[in-house]
Structure 1
Amino acid sequence: MFDKLVTRRRGGYCFEQNQLFLRMLRHIGFEVRSLLARVWLMVEDVPPLTHTFNLVKLGGEHWVADVGFGGDFTPPMPLVAGRAVEVPGGILYRLIEDQRGWVLQRDGGTGWQDQYSFLLTPVELVDLEMANHWTCTRPGTRFTALRIVSRALADGRAGIIDRHLSVTQNRSTQEREITEPEEYRAALADIFGLRLSAEEVAALGLFG
């Protein structure tokens, strides 16, 4: 994971990013453990446990520490219901409690929206292995059906889903379709710091 994420700068998703972050936190002395969450974005029924993040104990409090949710920067948050935290770009996050357990919510200017819910039930490595395997291999999931790139910016977020590029800064969003492979390569390099060869981009199957 270190070689992929840090040395080769190829990016990853929550099961990679948050596991590497957890191991770093433990190495420098923090008390930290993994949790699993249900993502409530674009769903019509109860979603499976397809997200992982870390719970860190600091100064007698538990904090949510999540470096792998995508989109804009998810801030470190004390495990306290109702306390809003603002991130660059004017986005607000908070935790609430309801029948699902703890729920992370985001307000980007249009009201609070559920992001994911979780319980504090202990999670074993085998639980993470099973959830990771399901998420990255099951046909039809977000991560097997789409080509996704995402990056938190200093004042917002940037993302590409297949050929659709979206950049949000200070709550203002610009969107466009990428029509050429070289334009796609340039966007990956300039916006996301990812450098793919022409052959690697062709292998994605996005351009006729």
Structure 2
Amino acid sequence: MNLKKYLERIKYTDRLEITDEVLFKLHQQHVHQVPFENVDIYLKRHFSLELEKVFQKIVSHKRGGFCYELNLLFNWLLNEVGFSSRIIASRIYNENGTLGPPFDHMSGYVKTNKAFLVDVGYGDLFVIPLEIKEGIQYDGRNYFRIEKLNENDFSLSMSPDGLEFQKRYLFSLDTVHLDAFTSICFDKQTHPNSYFVKNLVCTKPTQNGRITIFNEKLIEKNNRHKTETLLQGNDVLKTYLKDKFDMEVDMDFIPYHQPKMVVPVGINEI
């Protein structure tokens, strides 16, 4: 890994030490600088989880990605810096409270003198790592509650006010290999019922809110103020991706050949 180039990508300029403070700053910078986006899926461009290719896309080409890409790459960064970090599997709760399939989402587990859940690839979640312990935590924007289900399984819930919580996902500390995510990663890129096939998403937090492209709309939230701008056509979309997210994207569609799929797996939202 070109560590210097990666740190420049997330605009991290502080010292690198194996401390909780550095972990928090790296996580926060990553979430703020690297968008959660599925533009390649929108353009029908298949991508793999080969680390060097993910690095090239996100760091060299200054793009974003979705959970498998972003958390896989961040895990690599943390290990390069010297943290004890590994990817873990999560299952997202649907709006009706049911769980998605295994390996539905990738998160990260970091061990210092404490145990932390890290996640730079959910879309809109915590901006700093959460300590894996029961109780309520605040990241400066939202409240989060972790509940222990058994020795290795935990549930994560989120709340804007610390009173009413909505379940986000179940995560497991069991050791998992990258290959376990390969099939569902491809499925999310290609299956007609996939949330990411049906919708175009590009989002990242700002200093006082969030900026999002969702399908044909640009949504900007600044404190309590919200504006929506209609995006008509790929030329306009390309302009806003550059102006708002600093992403230069060739908007030509490149259909790819789909190999025969195994039994389709379920799909969940961000």
TM-score by length of 2: 0.65
SS at match of 2:139: strand
Deviations 1:74-112 (A, max 9, x none): 32011011131223xx32233223589422222234832
Q: CA deviation at 1:69?
A: 0.9
Please give the residue correspondences for 1:33-44 in structure 2 after superposition, counting only pairs within 5 Å. 33-42=86-95
Pick the aligned partner of 1:94 from 124, 135, 145: 145
Q: What are the superposed Cα offsets for residues 109-160 of structure 1, whole Å, 9 maximum, x if unpaired? A: 4832222111222211221223322322322111122221111222222211
| Secondary structure at the counterpart of residue 135 of structure 2 | coil
Aligned twin of 1:54: 108
Displacement of 1:168: 2.2
Give the paired residue count.
198
The one-letter amino acid of 2:217's match is H
Q: Deviations over 1:42-79 (max 9, x none)?
A: 456431232101100011x2101111111355320110
3-state secondary structure, aligned to 1:187:
helix
- Which residue of structure 1 lines up, in the alignment, with residue 157 of structure 2? 105
CA RMSD of aligned residues (A): 2.5
Aligned residue among 62, 80, 87 for 1:9: 62
Task: Select the structure that is richer in strand.
Answer: 1
2 CA distance for matches of 1:4 and 1:155?
A: 28
Whether contact under 8 Å (1:72, 1:153) holds in the other structure is no
Give the letter aligned to residue 205 of structure 2.
A
Would you say the 8 A contact 2:126–2:139 is kept in 1?
no
Q: 1:8 to 1:45 in 2, by over 3 A?
A: same
Percent identical across equivalent pairs?
24
**Which structure 2 residues correspond to residues 164-179 of structure 1 after superposition, within 5 A?**
164-179=217-232
Deviates more, 1:176-185 or 1:72-81: 176-185
Q: 2:200 aligns with which of 133, 147, 153?
A: 147
> Shift in Å at residue 21 of structure 1?
1.0
Is the alpha carbon distance of 1:85 and 1:150 closer, same or farther for their aligned partners in structure 2, counting shifts above 3 Å? same
Q: What is the alpha-carbon distance in structure 1 between the residues aligned to residue 125 and residue 210 of structure 2?
A: 5
* One of 166, 176, 186 as aligned partner of 1:133: 186
- Any idea what SS the aligned residue of 1:83 has? strand
Q: Of the two structures, which has the highest relative contact order with CA contacts closer than 8 Å and spacing of 6 or more?
A: 2
Aligned-residue offset at 1:22: 0.9
CA distance in 1, matches of 2:211, 2:169: 20
CA distance in 1 between partners of 2:217 and 2:175 (Å): 38
Q: 1:135 to 1:80 in 2, by over 3 A?
A: same
Q: Sort the Cα spacing of 1:126 and 1:181 in 2 relative to 1 into closer, same or farther, 3 A.
A: closer
Query: 1:66 aligned to 2:152?
Result: no
Q: Is the 8 A contact 1:70 1:152 kept in 2?
A: no
Q: 1:9 and 1:103 mapped to 2: Cα distance?
A: 32
Matched AA of 2:148: E
TM-score by length of 1: 0.82
For the residue of structure 2 that corresponds to 1:84, the secondary structure is strand
What one-letter code is carried by the residue in structure 1 that aligns with 2:112?
L
Unpaired runs of 5+ in structure 1? Answer: none
